[in-house]
Amino acid sequence: MTRVFIAIDLPAEIKERIAETQKVLARSCARLTFVAPRNMHITLKFIGEVEDEMLEAIRSALQGVSADPFEIAIRGVGANNLRRPRVVWSNLEDAGKTGGLHDAIEEALAPLGIEREERAYTPHITIARVRQFDPSLLGAIEQVMAKEFGSFRADRYTLKKSTLTKQGPRYEDLMEVVW
């Protein structure tokens, strides 16, 4: 079995800027797990554990799913719940294009029996996960909430293998779809 998901990768300079922001969040008294810069990405679709045969079917189905290249601006820091965050993330400005790609991927994978997400899709870059909340986290988020991390032209996505280890997840690229 292979644990897989689909994501858009980020340019190195954007990941470096997000890492600077992690330092500000680290000064709060909340207990946080930070996403390592090499692992930062925009998840398009989490699939989960699949057999080899299904993995091949996913590869074939994704061949046909693309978009026209589009601009993504990474701007602002927010959270899944601004009063008591569990996930701190950065927001995207992309005129809804990433959401459109997410929908197209779900459409292509549904015939394989891969379920659609029940929750509405909110494209984001996870920066930190909250292990233990502390109110000082809200002030730390406020300090960085207007930060701009830069923009880039999205023209590909990647099918990734995820291996969970004690040191955190390890991601490997299995396939890249370039538009």
Q: Which residues bind ligand 3AM (CB under 6 A)?
A: 5, 43, 46, 48, 126, 162
In whole angstroms, what is the distance from residue 102 CA to residue 97 CA?
9
The least CB distance from residue 87 to ligand 3AM, in Å, is 7
3-class secondary structure, 45: strand
Which residues are annotated as catalytic?
41, 124
The least CB distance from residue 117 to ligand 3AM, in Å, is 7
84 and 20 Cβ atoms separated by less than 8 Å? no
In this structure, what are the phi and psi dihedrals at residue 25, rounded to the nearest 5 degrees?
A: -65, -30
Q: Which is nearer to ligand 3AM, 65 or 92 (CB)?
A: 92
Q: Which is nearer to ligand 3AM, 46 or 179 (CB)?
A: 46
The least CB distance from residue 158 to ligand 3AM, in Å, is 12
The least CB distance from residue 153 to ligand 3AM, in Å, is 20
**Hey, what amino acid is at 120?**
A
User: Which ranges of 27-175 does DSSP label H, i.e. alpha helix?
Assistant: 52-63, 97-109, 136-144
3-class secondary structure, 103: helix
Q: Which is nearer to ligand 3AM, 44 or 144 (CB)?
A: 44
Do β-strands 124-132 and 168-178 pair in parallel, antiparallel, or remain unpaired?
Answer: unpaired
Q: Which is nearer to ligand 3AM, 86 or 135 (CB)?
A: 86
In whole angstroms, what is the distance from residue 94 CA to residue 157 CA?
15
